[in-house]
Amino acid sequence: MAGAVLENVTKTFGETVAVENLSLAVGRKEFLVLLGPTGAGKTTTLRLLAGLEQPDSGKVHIAGEDVTAQPPAARDVAFVFQQYSLYPHYTVFENLAFPLRAPGRRLNADSIRRRVGEISEMLRIGHKLNDRVTQLSGGEMQRVSIGRALVRKPKLFLMDEPLSSLDAKLREDLRVELKRIQRDLEATIVYVTHDQLEAMTLADTIGILQEGRLVQADSPRIAYERPATIYAAQRLGSPQINLIEAGRLGLAGGPPAAATAGIRPEDLTVGAEIGAEAKIIAVEHRGDEAVALIEADGLRLHALLDAGVSMEPGSRTRVAVRAESAIWFDSGERLVGAGAPG
């Protein structure tokens, strides 16, 4: 059974089309990550699911029920905002209890205390319950935000870049925790981010959005190996995929319609015995690996270097392309074949 479905949903703000004829399904217990740059319609999609926006056309279903006409309060969803959603005049406990005290839910004081206790332990903020939220650190605040969604056991969790305002270390910790919690609670989550690492690590399914349209919805592995369009290919992988015209650098043998080959940086071998002549332009060391910007056959390419290889900018070498790893796109930038089907 589907957790939530958007059916041909369109939403415009004045002249701007935020979401265009979008159809999207998230299964129960599934972790769907919507990935795309600013303005791709990610947040609007979440707000449509929550009922904070009304679609111009199309339908919204949650747990098999058409909720298009229902107000947010009736939908039994929880929303984690990027920031700002903790009430500064309340303590941590009161913030966590707030959804449980909503009219129509009205739990008794004991069960509220028990539930808040469970969740705060799970999120490791149990010792902060009596603090004002204004005294918390950024990471603690975001835990409380997530906790406020978790206390309710809603049908659907909606999370709008909940980790983006945190520093790198905290983001990584919370990311791991969030995935664990999702498994433990068997929660259905729609999660919005522009961070591909979050998308790859958290998602059961990645939905890639481009200008309000859904380009692809697949598992992270398939989205990476068989991107539906060049745009989708560019969203995943760091550094970005290299785009090479078919026929250059010895890239031949693609499907008949192939116009462009996408080569991931890890599929270029720099310093090979064979291959095209190349010049190293810059090298970026990332600790466990290094990324080289090279020029070959008049093209600028990114390549991942093996740890042992050391390259000086300006030096000449050879670069070999693993042709069998090419991802082929036609002249309409659509996938026509990938060397290593997943």
Partner 1 sequence: MKSGILKPGQATPLGKFLAGSAVALYALVAMIPLVWILATGFKSPPDSISYPPKVFFEPTLEGYVNLFTTRSRQTAEYIESLGPPKSWYEELVRRRNMVISGPSRFADRYWNSIVIGFGSTFLAVFLGTLAAYGFSRFKVPLKDDLLFFILSTRMMPPVAVAIPIFLMFRQLGLSDTAAGMILLYTAVNLSLSVWLLKGFVDEIPREYEEAAVVDGYSRLQAFWKVVLPQMRAGIAATAIFCLIFAWNEYAFALLLTSGTAQTAPPFIPIIIGEGGLDWPAVAAGTTLFLMPVVVFTVLLRNQLLRGITFGAVRK
- Under rule CB under 8 A, residue 11 binds partner 1: no
For the chain, how big is the Rg over CA atoms in Å?
A: 23
Position among 10, 12, 23, 85 found at the interface with partner 1 (CB under 8 A): 85
Instruction: Candidates 84-92, 168-176, 228-236, 262-270: pick the segment binding partner 1 (CB under 8 A).
Output: 84-92
Q: Do residues 209 and 41 touch, judged by C-beta distance below 8 A? A: yes
Q: Do residues 297 and 230 touch, judged by C-beta distance below 8 A? A: no
Nearer of residues 162 and 227 to partner 1, judged by Cβ: 162
Q: How crowded is residue 282: how many other Cβ atoms within 10 Å of its Cβ?
A: 11
Position among 14, 15, 38, 88 found at the interface with partner 1 (CB under 8 A): 88
- Under rule CB under 8 A, residue 98 binds partner 1: yes
DSSP string, 167-224: -HHHHHHHHHHHHHHHHHHT--EEEEES-HHHHHHH-SEEEEEETTEEEEEE-HHHHH
Cis peptide before 239 (omega within 30 of 0): yes
Q: How crowded is residue 171: how many other Cβ atoms within 10 Å of its Cβ?
A: 19
- Under rule CB under 8 A, residue 105 binds partner 1: yes
Q: Do residues 334 and 227 touch, judged by C-beta distance below 8 A? A: no
Query: Whole-number minimum distance, CB 86 to partner 1, in Å?
Result: 8
Q: Is the dihedral of CA 17, 22, 25, 31 positive or negative?
A: negative
Q: Do residues 270 and 278 touch, judged by C-beta distance below 8 A? A: yes
- Under rule CB under 8 A, residue 13 binds partner 1: no
Overall size of the chain counted in residues: 342
Nearer of residues 143 and 226 to partner 1, judged by Cβ: 143
Total residues at interface with partner 1 (CB under 8 A)? 25
Instruction: Candidates 5-13, 32-40, 47-55, 251-259: pick the segment binding partner 1 (CB under 8 A).
Output: 47-55
- Under rule CB under 8 A, residue 14 binds partner 1: no
Position among 62, 78, 209, 290 found at the interface with partner 1 (CB under 8 A): 78
Region 146-165 residues binding partner 1, contact defined as CB under 8 A: 148, 152
Position among 89, 256, 312, 316 found at the interface with partner 1 (CB under 8 A): 89
- Under rule CB under 8 A, residue 313 binds partner 1: no
Instruction: Candidates 14-22, 49-57, 284-292, 299-307: pick the segment binding partner 1 (CB under 8 A).
Output: 49-57
Position among 99, 237, 262, 271 found at the interface with partner 1 (CB under 8 A): 99
- Under rule CB under 8 A, residue 84 binds partner 1: yes
Q: How far is CA 138 from CA 82, 134, 170, 181, 245, in A?
A: 11, 10, 9, 20, 46
Site string for partner 1, 50-69 (x = CB under 8 A): xxx-----------------
Query: Whole-number minimum distance, CB 333 to partner 1, in Å?
Result: 37
The structure tokens 């042709």 sit at: 323
H/E run at residue 8 = strand 2-13
Tokens of 43: 């947040």
Position among 18, 77, 144, 215 found at the interface with partner 1 (CB under 8 A): 77
Residue numbers at the binding site for partner 1 (CB under 8 A) = 50-52, 71-73, 75, 77-79, 81, 83-85, 87-89, 98-99, 102-105, 148, 152
